[in-house]
Structure 1
């Protein structure tokens, strides 16, 4: 999902490419990696990492989730390598792996349910999901339920448990960058992006700055993969995604022959797990579980598995986005 605007805005992104992506990751603020095996859900046995006499992360869970043994996760499962379907149809990626690790600590299953990115927050409000985990950027606007374009309040907002850092990159067809190096170079050109992502917001903001009537023609799509298809066919001059997603597309699409990243990544910001306002117990349980897997080394193993070490964090934070 570039950093998705949700940054995935202020927005979304995604096997043998692990080594290549890891190298790319050292060049920029974040990275994104390769496909490897993944556990779809966590075990139902809680971690015993807490010392005697102290609460474990599992103890913090709301009673209804404990009784169900499941955390329903809203996710746009078309954003490799963050979350996507492998050739067998299995949900894999950075987020599913982290969800499985969190589930082991909390003693519940993280059940990923597919949805379009721009409906995940409303899905939380409607209680279709318990959390949203989908390369979603933590921003003050999202926390407060503010529309990033109109600046008007459109909802109650969400709380975030931040767990990764990612920036946004521009990419073009390989060997045909058309002089595009920065966002300003997109004036007078066409860009394909995922709808309601940071990339979408950045394109709209940049277009307002274009001189001489040379605005950016913006084509938004439901998924990042659809935007990639448009660029690959020559229907758009460039695309933009969270760096991990863009890097993965560059390394894997067409065997590495379809795309290239141009310029530097911008708008580095935290990815957050979104929780509906007022569900403080669940927020704190997830934060405690994330801190636990960071402490016990499982987090680093997963981040390294996907070649995205450059975006790793050393602690989970609540609402750390700006």
Structure 2
């Protein structure tokens, strides 16, 4: 499945931007979330960094000394967002982000340890030093860079820096065979949307709801949930007409949920924006090390293998930017 990207005629920005078919083989999305989940990203298979060890890793000396000493990078992530990060049928953390993290671990000589949390707590987790980085299909935006609440425009934190590593777009999807005439976001007026809380799909929905009201075309009701699978469950039970999520996630659900029998994508993707690895503003050394590592795996071909594996090559980047979102 391939979808084009349509620019919204408003100031909206999506959680993501890129297309490409999601030809993904693998387990269905599992929705359970524990308190903390660890994976072996960066391991050589025996619980140690192995090929990612400080002695072998070409960029180990770029990391802050305290992280080199620990040999671990704590990664905050919402591990319920297949195919970007999710648990397989063995309970292991898998997906695009864990694979990229494993490749980065080889460059930096550390293990990336994924810790599960809801998406809306990840930036505060960075601020409280619960995590070293957040890597969770998070769109790099000016609001997040500056610590500004997207709804109120008020300063709510110090903000974060982003190391951009992928792009993707936002899609709408419905129960299969029941698209209710939805082709564009303007068709959502008078409907009910289920969406993951505090994502840019959520922001887009709130912008569209305001537009529907101003145009007198009927209320767009929004039901928000901690995770995307919960939003999908609400739609499956007929409590909502439509779900919005990043295109890779929507396409994965369409392909895999009910062996392809549950959902269908409607219309084109909208907006464009990069995924970024979020780092606290005062951790510039770590930020720059990550930028160098992402560029290294792009240059050595490991990155391309990963995006090809997950069928998301159209979202690949060639140059790693810091705070490239707008």
Question: Is the TM-score greater than 0.5?
Answer: yes
Q: Which residue of 1 aligns with 2:303?
A: 299
Report how far residue 316 of structure 1 moved.
1.2
Q: Which residue of 2 aligns with 1:185?
A: 187
| 1:170-224 C-alpha deviation (Å, 9 max, x unpaired) | 0001111101011111011000000001110001001111132612110000000
SS of match in other structure, 2:81? coil
| Residue 170 of structure 1 pairs with residue 160 of structure 2 | no
| Residue 42 of structure 1 pairs with residue 42 of structure 2 | yes
Separation in structure 1 between the aligned mates of residue 42 and residue 25 of structure 2, nearest angstrom: 19
| 1:250-275 C-alpha deviation (Å, 9 max, x unpaired) | 00011101110001001111000000
Report how far residue 57 of structure 1 moved.
2.4
Q: Which residue of 2 aligns with 1:220?
A: 224
Give the alignment partner of residue 318 of structure 1, picking from 294, 316, 322: 322
Report how far residue 32 of structure 1 moved.
4.1
Structure 1 unaligned blocks of 5 or more? 1-8, 14-24, 49-54
Separation in structure 1 between the aligned mates of residue 300 and residue 172 of structure 2, nearest angstrom: 35
SS of match in other structure, 2:138? coil
Separation in structure 2 between the aligned mates of residue 141 and residue 288 of structure 1, nearest angstrom: 25
Contact 1:10 1:197 in 2 (8 A): no
Report how far residue 46 of structure 1 moved.
6.0
Q: Which residue of 1 aligns with 2:264?
A: 260
Q: Which residue of 2 aligns with 1:146?
A: 148
Give the alignment partner of residue 243 of structure 1, picking from 243, 247, 257: 247
Q: Which residue of 1 aligns with 2:121?
A: 119
Separation in structure 2 between the aligned mates of residue 295 and residue 45 of structure 1, nearest angstrom: 22
Report how far residue 40 of structure 1 moved.
2.9
Separation in structure 2 between the aligned mates of residue 296 and residue 32 of structure 1, nearest angstrom: 24
Report how far residue 31 of structure 1 moved.
5.0
Change (3 A) 1:256 1:36: closer
Separation in structure 1 between the aligned mates of residue 199 and residue 79 of structure 2, nearest angstrom: 15
Contact 1:291 1:316 in 2 (8 A): yes
Separation in structure 2 between the aligned mates of residue 111 and residue 32 of structure 1, nearest angstrom: 26
Separation in structure 2 between the aligned mates of residue 135 and residue 31 of structure 1, nearest angstrom: 18
Separation in structure 2 between the aligned mates of residue 194 and residue 31 of structure 1, nearest angstrom: 23
**After TM superposition, what 4+ stretches of structure 1 lie above 3 angstroms from structure 2?**
9-13, 30-33, 45-48
Contact 2:13 2:272 in 1 (8 A): no
Change (3 A) 1:96 1:35: farther
Matches within 5 A, 1:59-98: 59-98=61-100
Separation in structure 1 between the aligned mates of residue 309 and residue 161 of structure 2, nearest angstrom: 28
Contact 1:174 1:259 in 2 (8 A): yes
- TM-score (norm. length: structure 1): 0.87
Change (3 A) 1:106 1:45: farther
Contact 2:15 2:169 in 1 (8 A): no
Structure 2 unaligned blocks of 5 or more? 1-11, 28-38, 44-48
- TM-score (norm. length: structure 2): 0.86
